[in-house]
Amino acid sequence: MALRSWLIAARPRTLALSLTPVMVGAALAWAVQRELPVLPVLAALTGSMCIQMGTNLHNDAVDSELGGDGPDRIGPPRVTAMGLLSARKVKLGAVACFAASALLGLYLMTVGGWPILLLGVLSIAAGWAYTGGPWPIAYTPLGELFVIVFFGIGAVGGTYWLCAGNLGAPVLVSGLALGLMTGAVLLVNNHRDVEADTRVGRRTLAILAGRHGTTWIYAGLMLTPFALLVPIERALPQQHVWITLLVLPPTLWVIYRFVREPPGRGLNRILVSTMWIQMIFSLLLAAGMLF
């Protein structure tokens, strides 16, 4: 029972959001230089996953303490609010995950130097500050922006830097493409929780934009990555990045479902579908760069 509770708190189904940008950064490095330092990439994968798990655990504990996960919650269960684990234990779990990522970061710093140190420190700080500190990011309209920066540009760019020691336009554009789709995942989550978030004083982007505005933002976050394939292909003409268009039809279908879905538990299915779209888009983009 305890193991199951920890798994629920860590939200393993969301971990692809932190693993796929590392994979794309590594695939891009292979496409450019035809070699790949395996150990740093594996360390980056593990470190990225630890930061996300730490963020998820900290969010679980703090949201319960602040009243964000009340009995009217319509999203997936949260172990602290359900009384399965104490807030203290969950916070200690978050600290352990952040500490593990920091230890991996010390090794990665020997490979990538001070830029990797800076990225690691900022990533851990952002993970803690998402629901911690005096101005939690999750309580502002900036959540999606932070996701785009850290789960997209930062993760792809940091991985590429570890492999190649430099950055370029294709790296940043690829990171932006992945980050936008990951931001769409958070937007669906916040759109589903508008009522509960409003009750506890949050001012998320979904609350400020309203239902109509959120629909347009979601469509933009999901479709812009396909437009970004143009500059990526021009920079990497020998790679087959257009294979990523295979996921465009299901993306259009998910957008249609989002537009038509009323507030409620049905948005949980769209949330899962959005995560799948992000994962498949990322995998196809990486495959197009590798082969």
> Which pLDDT tens digit goes with each residue over 26-65?
999 998 888 889 999 999 999 999 999 999 988 888 877 7
- Separation CA 97–CA 50 (nearest Å): 5
The reported pLDDT for the residue numbered 185 is: 96
The reported pLDDT for the residue numbered 34 is: 86
Angle, nearest 10°, between helix axes 2-10 and 38-65?
100
Give DSSP secondary structure letters for 215-234: HHHHHHHHHHHHHTHHHHHH
Q: How many residues belong to the chain? A: 291
Question: Range of 166's domain?
Answer: 2-290
The reported pLDDT for the residue numbered 236 is: 84
Task: Count structural domains, the chain.
Answer: 1
> Which pLDDT tens digit goes with each residue over 191-207?
998 888 888 888 999 99
When pLDDT is cut at 50, 70 and 90, the band that residue 8 belongs to is confident
Residues with Cβ within 8 Å of 14's Cβ and at least 6 positions away in sequence, in order, are 52, 56, 185, 275
- Separation CA 194–CA 278 (nearest Å): 23
Structure tokens at 7: 């798994």
**How buried is 33 (Cβ within 10 angstroms: 0-12 exposed, 13-18 middle, 19+ buried)?**
exposed
> Which pLDDT tens digit goes with each residue over 121-158?
999 999 999 888 778 898 999 999 999 999 999 999 99
Whether 71 shows a pLDDT value over 70: the answer reads no
Look over the chain and give the mean of its residue pLDDT values, rounded to a whole number.
90
> Which pLDDT tens digit goes with each residue over 23-33?
999 999 998 88
Whether 118 shows a pLDDT value over 90: the answer reads yes
